[in-house]
Structure 1
Amino acid sequence: MMYVFSLQANHFEFLLYFRRISSSFECSQMSFFCYSLSITTDDTQTRALVEPDEEAIARKGHFYGVYLLCSQSLDPRYRGKCYVGFTVNPQRRIRQHNRGCDFGGAKKTSRKGPWQMVMIVHGFPNNIVALQFEWAWQQPSLSTRLKIFPELKRKKPREAHFDYNFRILSRMLCVGPWNRLTLTVRWLETDYERGFEVSLPKQIEIVSGKVTITASQRKRGGTAEAPTPIAWAPECHLCMQVIDQPERSRLGCTNPTCRLTCHMLCLANYLLGDEPGHYIPVGGECPLCETRLSWSALLQRKRLLLGVPEEPQDRDEAEEDLSDAPDVDSDVEELEPESESSD
């Protein structure tokens, strides 16, 4: 717990440190670390409808999504089965799943398709938070965050695999740390779209449409493209003190025309003015231009400006050293025994 309170520390070095000391996705330090990477609000509202179709444009190396596949196999043993996975490129990932494990797909989806990627949750601040979300969605009976929902441990009799996975997701989005993240639930197949029966945090968007990954910020040879220069002020606009080590402790507004320059800690305290009792800011307006600020957007912008190297590839392609938890489907526990062989 003591590692997260220094907001002026380089959170990218801190991220690498956490990857070395973390032995489990569900460790308390890692769960609390999610809070330091994103902001949201606690207010909730019922989501019955999705936003109009819109295509998401994401920069390569800065997209982290957790998706749900549904099998369209003609074999009744596999049709309707679901698979939860992590990806940095949804279009590429579904092609790999449908081509088989010899072409980058998962062993658990090979020869059980074709598969449809019906929905994806994205907006995670980094791959670690997304992988933690994926593991909990796969293993609701083992997740410490979901143990308060004993009804999620097993699939109900005659409940479809998709319905079970959607029920797990609905609960996950309403508990910490995920209810403090600025996430997007994106429907990729309209046939599966439905409204959430629970009230979700209002900052969580529900949309439909495809995701397009654009070219990387970095060139193929590894030379970073020069970012747009920012006219930083030498001192913090909130405490009026000179900012030492600006690359580590300086934050500005996401409005490109705003010259706000602040210590990370000063801006965090300013945004926390309406949220007593919290350590990480939830939201607020820029003190200079009144632009609505998002803590996750601020940190993402800082990450881009620092030119942090791209994160690992999809889960089955990357070297996994973050958890010893097995990579299993999320529907392994059922009330009714089935004739098909286990995954």
Structure 2
Amino acid sequence: MPGLSKPIPPLYTVYILRSTVRHSSLYIGSTPNPPRRLKQHNGDAKGGAVRTSRETLRPWEMVGIVSGFPGMVAALKFEWALTNPHLSLHIPSTSRITISTQKKRNGHPKRPRHSLTSIISNLHLLLRVPSFARWPLELRFFAPEVHKAWKKWCDTANEPVRESIPVYTDFGPAHTDTTADESGPITGIDEPWGIHALPLDYKPLKDYVTKTNSIYTFEREGSCVICREYLPPGEGLYATCPNTGCEGTGHVSCWSRHMLGNSDEDVIPISGQCPQCKGKVMWGEMMKEMTLRVRGAKEVDKLLKKPRKRTAEVAAEDSE
């Protein structure tokens, strides 16, 4: 979880950057705003990284991202591990794929050069290690050959990543054939695609937040859907089912136990079934809404604020 003063951000990503001039030149970074960060890497905005500042390699493109991190620190940990898989303590020595064979002048191991295969294979590995395996992460690929490399590695890997990690593709209007595990509607030529189609705010949660705002504002929490105890308004940490039409609410601790089931090893839930509507619920989605409600009053007000009517509409109503 992020700092207590902030909710889980609407988006935080670890991205794979590739030179459009030389595809073998790759870079890994993290950002809450991929479009802005790409402009920085390409010199269209201040910032960027020294390693991507060579004009002979520009423009760069983001060919894949991992999203769903609960905050900057979490994303930075994953970014560092993916950038330095030969050193990361998140990877057990027996599972390590990338091995350093050279040393720097200071005697420390030198990081092997990135390749698409090395990044994809270590990405697959990191999604399976205990440190990250239960995080609510998602994968998106924006280049067909990168997604193909991912699928190829998945087909040959000894162990699979968990099935609940969704994989999306968006190759742009020039590619109408999608082979992703999951895919959204095909975008038109004039519609944004790739990183430019990603939601950078909380709008995808608007209906969910509208429902919970009504429940908690009017103190309609009722009884916990799991333990059946009464939920005193404002006196506990509660979470509500995200499914449309369901107002099942309960203690966060009860939701956690319910979704973990009989597991004695796992600490973080992934998904489960709502006892009230019987629909599937995702722990990450519930926690994002809960932290937004508890820690992000300004963001909630902004999200639920009704748009101001246009002057012409107001004038027309006044004349009636």
Shorter-chain-normalised TM-score: which range? 0.5 to 0.7
Provide closer, same or farther for how the CA distance between residues 115 and 248 of structure 1 changes in structure 2, counting only shifts above 3 A. farther
Unpaired runs of 5+ residues, structure 1, are 1-10, 17-36, 38-60, 219-225, 311-343
CA distance in 1, matches of 2:115, 2:225: 53
In the other structure, the counterpart of 1:73 is 21
Alignment coverage as a number of residue pairs: 244
CA distance in 2, matches of 1:155, 1:164: 15
Q: SS of the counterpart of 2:97?
A: helix
Larger relative contact order (CA 8 Å, sep ≥ 6)? 1
Shift of 1:300: 0.8
In the other structure, the counterpart of 1:95 is 39
CA distance in 1, matches of 2:200, 2:140: 21
CA distance in 1, matches of 2:114, 2:221: 57
Alignment of 1:227-246 (within 5 A): 227-228=210-211, 229-231=213-215, 232-244=220-232, 246=234
> Matched residues, percent identical?
27
CA distance in 1, matches of 2:25, 2:31: 19
Provide closer, same or farther for how the CA distance between residues 172 and 215 of structure 1 changes in structure 2, counting only shifts above 3 A. closer
In the other structure, the counterpart of 2:48 is 105
CA distance in 2, matches of 1:133, 1:13: 18
Q: Deviations over 1:71-96 (max 9, x none)?
A: 2336xxxx622110001122222122
Q: SS of the counterpart of 1:293?
A: strand
Provide closer, same or farther for how the CA distance between residues 15 and 150 of structure 1 changes in structure 2, counting only shifts above 3 A. farther
Unpaired runs of 5+ residues, structure 2, are 103-111, 171-193, 204-208, 300-320
Letter in 2 for 1:65: T
Shift of 1:214: 4.2
With the length of structure 1 as denominator, give the TM-score of the two structures: 0.63
Tell whether the 8 Å contact from 1:70 to 1:116 is kept in structure 2 after alignment: yes
CA distance in 2, matches of 1:134, 1:12: 16
Alignment of 1:238-257 (within 5 A): 238-244=226-232, 246=234, 248-257=236-245
With the length of structure 2 as denominator, give the TM-score of the two structures: 0.67
Tell whether the 8 Å contact from 2:256 to 2:269 is kept in structure 1 after alignment: yes
In the other structure, the counterpart of 1:152 is 98
Q: Deviations over 1:180-199 (max 9, x none)?
A: 12322111112322212322
Provide closer, same or farther for how the CA distance between residues 191 and 263 of structure 1 changes in structure 2, counting only shifts above 3 A. same
State which structure, 1 or 2, has the greater radius of gyration over its C-alpha atoms. Answer: 2
Q: Which has the higher helix share?
A: 2
Tell whether the 8 Å contact from 1:120 to 1:186 is kept in structure 2 after alignment: yes
